């Protein structure tokens, strides 16, 4: 046994240092089964002090560390490389809710808390923790913050960054920074927590966070509308914003291809509108503090006007919580249906909302001209200008063809995004998948600033190497 393994066992107990292939395997492959890494060991600390001891031991040995939460990331950020010299640091055992302060509307949780656990703890105190995404039953707060996760409620509540007031971080040399402040105002220098949010574990290990809570809406009304075009979706979004203001809490879009994929791969899902009804569908959610009649009337008026003006061709409004949940399940099943179908070439892009429809029309056409077999599978958070602009193949062409052309497809998609002032990673991060590609779309000045920050915090490059930068 090496000295380092001995020190790790002393720090966290032998049962929490995994070295057998059967035990480490689930940690070494990503959710999409695209990346397969190796590690000296998987270490599962149970407290901040244990994380600090692990990091100190690894730093002294010059051993790279890869933080990991729920391992649901989509860009290979939590998977070590194939050299096998790193230690995978799993935060899953750090899953305690440390404090909930209803008067301050904050909750302080450890990084390994599952997102759903935090939502439930807030709800039990009659509060809302609004971060919500399809992987919420497995993803952890640490992973959510490290990727600055978005999800379905960003339109109203912002992404993980906007929901974070304070952080506790173990730095790459093993020191602990306690920045767990629950303040809305604090102008006492650089806002250090922002460095670690979205850093994908390259600057330190997040061990706890103080998160912002919101009032729990008493009433939620959900509808699915069938739309003739993406332009119509944008127009409907604007009308919904104008009419509902802050009570519009979600506006998601999905193409008919997405619904067909869910129907085919997950036949237990019921589709309230047939995929043939229209080329696009929008899922709208209104959340009202307490007035059911007001929310229902607003949604009916909005959809009635949309049908009259031709912005929608059909619509259903959920009549019960179960029906609303079924509509959300439909939307949230799209990634699972795609994974079951064998995956696709993914693009998680952000654009100004005003340019989304035109981007999709022109990029779909450019791709079809170059790759006649291509089948776009497009869905996402239209309210945030964030599309999952994914590519699979039409029936008759093997899926492998899409993967074989991934680079060429990216050569069409990413410049089109950049030309419209967009981003090649809206909410999933860069990880291993987009690390190199990102260099083409950031200025030298921006890259130099990022490298300076990395060098200042992690001069030996031990924290999640090969990711992001
Ligand atoms: C079905 C599905 C749907 C999804 N939908 C969305 C969505 O709508 N919006 C969205 O934003 N994402 C989405 N994702 C992506 C993913 O769920 C999120 O990125 C999530 O926040 C990752 O959390 P995790 O705990 O699984 O992180 P992991 O996958 O374990 O890690 C992700 C990154 O964070 C780093 N990291 C993890 N924990 C820590 C820590 N404590 N300290 C420092 N670094 C850390 C890792 O090194 C890695 O770089 C989805 C994923 C799936 C599978």
Reading the chain (469 residues) residue by residue, the pLDDT tens digits are 689 999 999 999 999 999 999 999 999 999 989 999 999 999 999 999 999 999 999 999 999 999 999 999 999 999 999 999 999 999 999 999 999 999 999 999 999 999 999 999 999 999 999 999 999 999 999 999 999 999 999 999 999 999 999 999 999 999 999 999 999 999 999 999 999 999 999 999 999 999 999 999 999 999 999 999 999 999 999 999 999 999 999 999 999 999 999 999 999 988 999 999 999 999 999 999 888 999 999 999 999 999 999 999 999 999 999 999 999 999 999 999 998 988 899 999 999 999 999 999 999 999 999 999 999 999 999 999 999 999 999 999 999 999 999 999 999 999 999 999 999 999 999 999 999 999 999 999 999 999 999 999 999 999 999 999 9
Residues 6+ apart with CB under 8 A from 86: 37, 39, 40, 63, 64, 65, 66, 80, 465
Structural contact between residues 258 and 334, judged by C-beta atoms closer than 8 angstroms: yes
Which pTM value belongs to this model? 0.95
Q: Hunting for tokens 């519009």 — which residue is that?
A: 248
State in Å, rounded, how far the first CA of the chain is from the last one. 33
Structure tokens at 349: 């892009």
Q: Does the C-beta of 428 come closer than 6 Å to ligand 1?
A: yes
DSSP secondary structure letters along 155-213: HHH--GGGGEEEEEEE-TTS-EEEE----S---SS--THHHHTTSTTSS-EEEEEEEE-
Q: Does the C-beta of 205 come closer than 6 Å to ligand 1?
A: yes
Q: How far is the CA of 143 from the centre of ligand 1 (A)?
A: 4
Structural contact between residues 104 and 462, judged by C-beta atoms closer than 8 angstroms: no
For a ligand 1 pocket test, name from 147, 200, 386, 462 the mutation site with the most ligand atoms within 8 angstroms of its C-beta: 147
The CA distance from 305 to 384, in Å, is: 23
Structure tokens at 221: 């009304």
> Dihedral, CA atoms, 259, 262, 263, 268, nearest 10 degrees?
-140
For a ligand 1 pocket test, name from 69, 111, 144 the mutation site with the most ligand atoms within 8 angstroms of its C-beta: 69
Q: Does the C-beta of 199 come closer than 6 Å to ligand 1?
A: no
Helix axes 48-61, 3-12, angle to 10 degrees: 170
Q: Does the C-beta of 134 come closer than 6 Å to ligand 1?
A: yes
Structure tokens at 90: 């799993």
Cα separations in angstroms, 61 against 11, 12, 85, 113, 258: 15, 17, 11, 29, 48
């Amino acid at each position: 046994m090496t000295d380092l393994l001995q020190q790790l066992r002393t720090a966290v107990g032998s049962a929490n240092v995994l070295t057998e292939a059967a035990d480490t395997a689930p940690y070494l492959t990503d959710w999409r089964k695209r990346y397969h890494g190796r590690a000296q060991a998987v270490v599962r600390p149970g407290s901040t002090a244990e994380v600090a001891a692990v990091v100190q031991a690894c730093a002294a040995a010059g051993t790279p560390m890869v933080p990991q939460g729920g391992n649901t990331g989509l860009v290979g950020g939590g998977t070590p490389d194939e050299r096998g010299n790193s230690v995978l640091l799993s935060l899953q055992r750090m899953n305690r809710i440390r404090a909930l302060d209803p008067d301050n509307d904050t909750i302080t949780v450890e990084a390994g808390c599952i997102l759903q656990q935090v939502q439930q703890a807030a709800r039990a105190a009659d509060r809302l923790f609004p971060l919500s995404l399809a992987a919420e039953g497995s993803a952890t707060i640490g992973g959510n913050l490290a990727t600055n996760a978005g999800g379905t409620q960003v339109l109203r509540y912002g992404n993980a960054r906007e929901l974070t007031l304070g952080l506790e971080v173990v730095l790459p040399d093993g020191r602990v920074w306690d920045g767990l402040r629950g303040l809305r105002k604090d102008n006492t220098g650089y806002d250090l927590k922002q460095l670690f949010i979205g850093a994908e574990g390259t600057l330190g290990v997040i061990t706890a966070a103080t998160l912002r809570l919101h009032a729990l809406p008493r009433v939620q009304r959900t509808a699915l509308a069938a739309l003739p075009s993406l332009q119509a979706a944008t127009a409907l979004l604007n009308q919904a914003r104008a009419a509902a203001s802050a009570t519009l809490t979600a506006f998601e879009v999905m193409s008919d291809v997405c619904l067909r994929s869910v129907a085919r791969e997950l036949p237990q899902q019921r589709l309230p509108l047939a995929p043939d009804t229209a080329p696009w569908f929008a899922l709208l959610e209104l959340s009202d503090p307490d007035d059911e009649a007001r929310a229902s009337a607003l949604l009916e008026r909005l959809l009635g006007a949309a049908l009259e003006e031709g912005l929608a061709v059909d619509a259903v409004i959920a009549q019960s919580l179960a029906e609303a949940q079924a509509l959300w399940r439909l939307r949230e099943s799209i990634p699972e249906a795609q994974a079951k179908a064998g995956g696709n070439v993914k693009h998680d892009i952000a654009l100004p909302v005003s340019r989304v429809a035109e981007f999709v029309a022109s990029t779909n056409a450019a791709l079809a001209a170059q790759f006649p077999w291509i089948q776009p599978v497009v869905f996402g958070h239209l309210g945030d200008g964030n599309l999952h602009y994914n590519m699979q193949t039409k029936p008759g062409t093997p899926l492998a063809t899409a993967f074989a052309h991934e680079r060429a497809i990216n050569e069409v998609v990413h410049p089109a995004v950049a030309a419209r002032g967009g981003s090649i990673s809206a909410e999933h991060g860069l990880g291993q998948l987009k690390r190199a590609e990102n260099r083409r779309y950031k200025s030298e000045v921006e890259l130099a600033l990022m490298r300076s920050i990395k060098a200042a915090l992690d001069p030996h490059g031990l924290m999640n190497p090969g990711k992001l930068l």
